[in-house]
Amino acid sequence: MSMLATILLTGAIHEDGFADFCDSLGGMSSEKRLAIMKDSNMGAFGVIGLLGILSGKYLFLNHIPSSCMSWVLISGHVLSRFLILFLMLFMPYAGKTDSSKSLSLVQAVHCKNICIALACTGLIVILLPIHALVSMPILLLTIIVLFFYFRKSIGGYTGDYLGAAQQLTEVAHYLSLIFYLGML
């Protein structure tokens, strides 16, 4: 139910981005990858990737004890969305600015917005158990790897790549907490 609620609340924007990102893996050049992501049709890589990420979330969340579920979900959603700000801050936009559907959203990353995101994330971190931060080294490593991949792949980021980064860091958070909670 939590997965469905999140998809409905966000309009599946991150999942759509992840599917487009997966489809772009078939492109051999950055221009081809960008063109593939502009195509409104979903390809085999997108379908397989979306099934994989949603199945992974479902399986990982089933391994989280119910006593921890609320803080795991909250921290996963907050941290994964906060971390993609760093990609937007330190990378150029790689898509075509004249035909972008998401550029207005990602260009709105001003100091005020970053401060608001930092304050909200800080509040969540303060209110959640310390366990919520156990995944931070893995999440930071994930963002760093994605940063270098995005730079090499298309020379920056697009809205689809940000959606993929959010989905991948959320799954990395759940997986790292499964290992941590299993060690308790």
Average pLDDT value over all residues in the chain: 88
DSSP lists the bridge partners of residue 93 as: 157
- Which tokens in the block code for residue 70? 């609320």
Q: Find out whether 172 and 140 touch, Cβ atoms under 8 Å.
A: no
Compute CA 63 distance to the chain's CA centroid, rounded to the nearest angstrom: 21
pLDDT of 1 over the 70 cut: yes
With H, G, I as helix, E, B as strand and everything else as coil, classify residue 93: strand
Task: Return the number of other C-beta atoms located less than 10 Å from residue 110's C-beta.
Answer: 9
Q: List, as one string, the DSSP characters of 135-148.
A: THHHHHHHHHHHHH
Domain boundaries, the chain: 2-183
Predicted TM-score (pTM) of the model is: 0.88
148: how many CB neighbours lie within 10 A of its CB? 9
Is pLDDT above 60 for 184? Answer: no
pLDDT in tens, 88-124: 889 998 877 666 665 665 566 566 777 888 888 888 8
Do residues 72 and 79 lie in contact, with contact meaning Cβ atoms separated by under 8 Å?
A: no
What is the rounded average pLDDT of the residues 41-45?
91
